[in-house]
Structure 1
């Protein structure tokens, strides 16, 4: 058995979770949380539990299929919980887990940045498109 120093073990762990590597699990997680529906669902749940219909009304443009897939993937990743309450009709609530809540500052900051900077981005796109002769 080969003995490794603490420094070597730390370096091995760092390389094992290097998001620049194609098969890195951290990269797959970055792919998931960078999805527009994921970010919108997480921010929509920031205020507390919500029913499916509330999420559907809050997140304009999301199809039933995409919302369902997004909620399932977030539940699988441990970012949200799905609670079914036995009543007629059955009540299903979605809420953030502590792990999901840990993402809120990042997601809220990205959402806020987008809302605060969209005019500059749109102006930049317009300038760029005007400067392109092939457009």
Structure 2
């Protein structure tokens, strides 16, 4: 049996369904976050402080983090030597999101497009899978 290599931190139900549907739990451990983008990024930041390394950028895509409710980030599974670059990126991404939310809160109309935002975030995750040669 293959060892779990990566952790997927997400609040996106479509990513969760995709991982389960294609049994990606053999390579990915799913860490579900109840909340919004900022909650996912806070969890990612915390994991980086414990020695996990970012495998995807927390601010992937052209949609501002204060506009979308969904975020999926992948880190390596095993804690290792502290990767200061991952910590820096995770911290900056988290605080940039908080700053944007303070200046321009998430629009109420976001709820009208939840499915669209979930599909966009899933597509970024699928792109990551493609880069690993795992696209389904």
Higher relative CO (Cα under 8 Å, sequence separation at least 6) belongs to: 2
TM-score normalised by L of structure 1: 0.31
TM-score normalised by L of structure 2: 0.31
Higher helix share: 1
Structure of higher CA gyration radius: 1
